Amino acid sequence: MEVNIIKTDLHCHSTMSDGVLEPEEVARRAHANGVNLWALTDHDIVDGIPVARAEAQSLGMRFIAGVEISVTWSGHTVHIVGLNVDDTHTGLVEGLRAVRSGRSERAREMGRRLDAMGVPGSYEGALRYVSNPALISRTHFARYLVDQGVCKSLQEVFSRYLGENCPAYVPMQWSSLEQAVGWIRAAGGRAVIAHPGRYNYSPMQFDVLFEQFRDLGGEGIEVITGSHTPDQYSVYADVARRYGFMASCGSDFHGPRESRIDLGQLPPLPADLTPVWHDWH
Ligand code: AMP
Ligand code: MN
Ligand code: MN
Ligand code: MN
Closest Cα to atom 11, ligand 1: which residue? 139
Residues 21 and 143 in one domain: no
Q: Which ligand is nearest to the CA of 12?
A: 4
* Domain-embedded: residue 257: no
pLDDT of residue 118: 95
CATH number of the domain at 111, please. 1.10.150.650
Cβ–ligand 1 contact at 110 (below 6 Å): no
Cβ–ligand 1 contact at 17 (below 6 Å): no
pTM of the model: 0.97
Range of the domain at 60: 2-99+175-250
CA of 44 to the centre of ligand 2 (A): 10
**Substitution candidate for ligand 1 out of 76, 99, 137 with most atoms within 8 A of CB:** 137
Residues 124 and 139 in one domain: yes
d(CA 19, CA 15): 5
CA of 40 to the centre of ligand 4 (A): 10
pLDDT tens digit string along 102-128? 999 999 999 999 999 999 999 999 999
* Domain-embedded: residue 204: yes
Residues 150 and 205 in one domain: no
State which residues of the chain have pLDDT below 50.
Answer: 1-2
Residues 151 and 49 in one domain: no
Residues 157 and 19 in one domain: no
